[in-house]
Homo-oligomer: A and B are copies of this chain.
Amino acid sequence: MRVTGLRTHDLRAPTSRTLAGSDAVHSDPNYSAAYVVLETDGEHTGEGMTFTIGRGNDLCCAAIEALAHHVVGRELDELVGDIGATWRAIANDSQLRWLGPEKGTIHLATAALVNAVWDLWAKSASKPLWQLVTDMTPEEYVRCVDFRYLTDAITPDEALDLLRANEPTRAARLAELRRDGYPAYITSAGWLGYPNEQVRQLCREMLGEGWRAFKTKVGVSVESDIRRCEVMREELGDDVLLMADANQVWDVQQAIEWTRSLQPFDLRWIEEPTSPDDVLGHAAIRRGIAPIGVATGEHCANRVLFKQLLQAEAIDYCQIDACRLGGVNEVLAVLLLAAKFDVPVCPHAGGIGLCEYVQHLSIIDYVAVSASLADRTTEYASHLHELFVHPAVVRDGRYLVPDAPGYSMALVPDTFERFTWPGGSAWR
């Protein structure tokens, strides 16, 4: 099968109208997908996307097209025969890398394109993406990873040892996930733009649906954050897990003091307390707010940032993002790093398509890499799943194991009609 062409779609949902997704620094997000379709001369297409929040989604589409020459015209067998080399070629295009390297628009585009290749690969193997990876030998897994800049933290040999140790017990863990699902938490009750009465109502509904882990946005004022946490604890009781997300709004010392003021609410973590680039800052915050944990990752540009967050003991929870990291290959690298440093991976989701993506990644982490569910919980947000042919499914607050071949990115045709920017019906 040969990749014969590539097309992109600029899809945007008008979420700013309801403030779903709003937080302390993103006041008016329109959840968007820079979506790519790889056309082939075979029976499958490869679909991938990167997530943005509106303006600039067109730039990501253009960046995907700028990277297209690494994929279009090539045989799938050749692309995936050494998928690690394919990844490195895309991420290190000798001219485009200047725009990163490995960060920003060009890396978001790398994620979309790389994920589309993996989707095509999984479909051609008639497996869901998670199974394509969990069926790999440790050697095959390691060959997917670019270890450049990682060898001071983990070598390929160490990675092999780690994967081999858990290989014999993979089947038992998979059976457990098929029976119980993967633990999740929900963000949809606590968007910052929601009034407290709406938050109360949503907490009650979601408790009724079986959710036992919630997250709220914070960061506007100490007083309103305390009030928000009070409201949620009143509705949720003391036995439900509660997290808070500041979306990068604070300086280091401010983060420490502000988070301490939320200590009565038994928060499991504070998320993105400061700049996502500030490894040393996160480490200082973590020392300053224990026992509340520090979580970050949705804006961590690449595996080098995660390496340092782990080396510096700066995070308690590693929030990989399926589109911020440069696609499946780089996620596989960070899963190895997190396992080496014994830090739980709790993927960032919400957005468009992120839940559909990360359900695969959490399964890979448990079955093949970390072999642990301790302190793991994967984000879920409840809107925009109707865009997908095979949406993520949760039951009693846990993701069910998806079975459709591929990486769950196929869209219902209606999505293009509604959300294409700027001509779609949602925008007219």
Are B312 and A151 in contact, CB atoms less than 8 angstroms apart?
no
> Which A residues between 237 and 287 are near B, CB-CB below 8 angstroms?
248, 251-254, 274-281, 284
**Known contacts being A52-B98, A103-B104, is A151 close to B252, with CB within 8 Å?**
yes
> Which A residues between 102 and 129 are near B, CB-CB below 8 angstroms?
102-108
Across-interface contacts of A89 in B (CB, < 8 A): none
Across-interface contacts of A26 in B (CB, < 8 A): 94-95, 97-98
A99 contacts the other chain (CB 8 A): yes
Give this chain's copy count: 2
Across-interface contacts of A54 in B (CB, < 8 A): 95, 98
Are B66 and A301 in contact, CB atoms less than 8 angstroms apart?
no
A53 to B148 Cα, complex, angstroms: 22
> Which A residues between 134 and 193 are near B, CB-CB below 8 angstroms?
148-152
Q: What does DSSP make chain A's interface, helix, strand, loop or mixed?
A: loop
Stretch at the interface among A303-311, A333-341, A419-427: A303-311
A27 contacts the other chain (CB 8 A): yes
A377 contacts the other chain (CB 8 A): no
A60 contacts the other chain (CB 8 A): yes
Across-interface contacts of A96 in B (CB, < 8 A): 55-56
A66 to B150 Cα, complex, angstroms: 35
**Known contacts being A149-B275, A251-B149, A280-B312, is A59 close to B66, with CB within 8 Å?**
yes
A304 to B282 Cα, complex, angstroms: 12
**Known contacts being A59-B105, A277-B302, A302-B277, is A251 close to B27, with CB within 8 Å?**
no
Are A99 and B52 in contact, CB atoms less than 8 angstroms apart?
yes
**Known contacts being A66-B59, A149-B274, is A53 close to B95, with CB within 8 Å?**
yes
With A59-B105, A152-B252, A280-B311 given, name 7 new contacts (CB 8 A): A25-B97, A28-B94, A59-B66, A59-B106, A63-B105, A151-B251, A301-B301
- Chain A residues at the B interface, C-beta cutoff of 8 Å: 25-30, 52-56, 58-60, 62-63, 66, 92-108, 148-152, 248, 251-254, 274-281, 284, 299, 301-302, 304-305, 307-308, 311-312
